[in-house]
Amino acid sequence: MSVKHIAAALASLALATSAQAASTVTSSLTDFNITVDQGGFGWTREVGQYYNMYAVSSDKPFYEVSPIDQAGGYGKMFDTASASTTLTNAIASAAVSANSLSAIVTTPAAGGSAYATAQWNGFFDLGENSKVTFSWKESQSGTNSGALGSFGYSIVGFGDSYQAVSHYYSDPNANWSTVDQGVTYSFWTVGDTHYASLSSTDAISSLNFHARVEVATNDISAVPEPESLALAFSGLAVAGFLARRRRQI
């Protein structure tokens, strides 16, 4: 095989395997609302009601040491704020508002990776014979062409006292109810709206509330199209055939 033929075949293969990947993953929690059905409800105290968000981009997979761009924020729950990062191969952003959380990551070129999250955390009180209903909508979307390890999800959870949040609603098809420490937790879905109600006959203080959206994508390498690979390998095969004919002449 001549150098010319080898170079041409390898160039075809390189072009086929260097097709850039592109991934976009989003997650959001919107239309968040609180309705006091009966009795009393109130956030426990000013300190302890907060939002935090974080966005990070890398021009290489996260497990490799590489330059990164990162941004974040922390403040009072239900405030409006955003954070974003931009690199050549990765973009990430997160945002919070009075009734929504959102996160989005994009890797416009192969080799990049990105992660973003936004969340609320708080404590609230229920008066005697009280019931409060939380409602919200969730959505996730993603296109993964050559992406490995991409995900997007959202979650809302509640818990008793200062213990860890223990009652999560992350399955839009799950309707269930449970009683814990005198508090009745009920979860259900109507259409595209999710609901969680908490009720108690006794006054309960400092119940946990937590809501979070989170996304990540990791474009480790580009994935060539089958047609491109076939063309490249056929070029190698033709070059090899021509070389064999020359040796036989």
Q: Mind listing the pLDDT tens digit for each residue in 94-134? A: 999 999 999 999 988 778 899 999 999 999 999 999 999 99
pLDDT at res. 168: 64
pTM over 0.95: no
- Structural domain boundaries of the chain? 20-223
C-alpha to C-alpha distance for 50 and 46, rounded to whole angstroms:
9
Closest CA to 77 of 42, 50, 54, 102: 50
pLDDT at res. 165: 56
Closest CA to 198 of 24, 37, 61, 10: 37
Question: If you average pLDDT over every residue of the chain, what do you get?
Answer: 78
Strand, coil or helix: 47: coil
DSSP-derived letter for residue 192 is T
DSSP-derived letter for residue 21 is P
pLDDT < 70 stretches in the chain: 1-21, 46-47, 63, 65, 143-149, 160-174, 220-249
Residue 90 tokens, joined: 């990765």
pLDDT at res. 8: 41
pLDDT at res. 230: 44
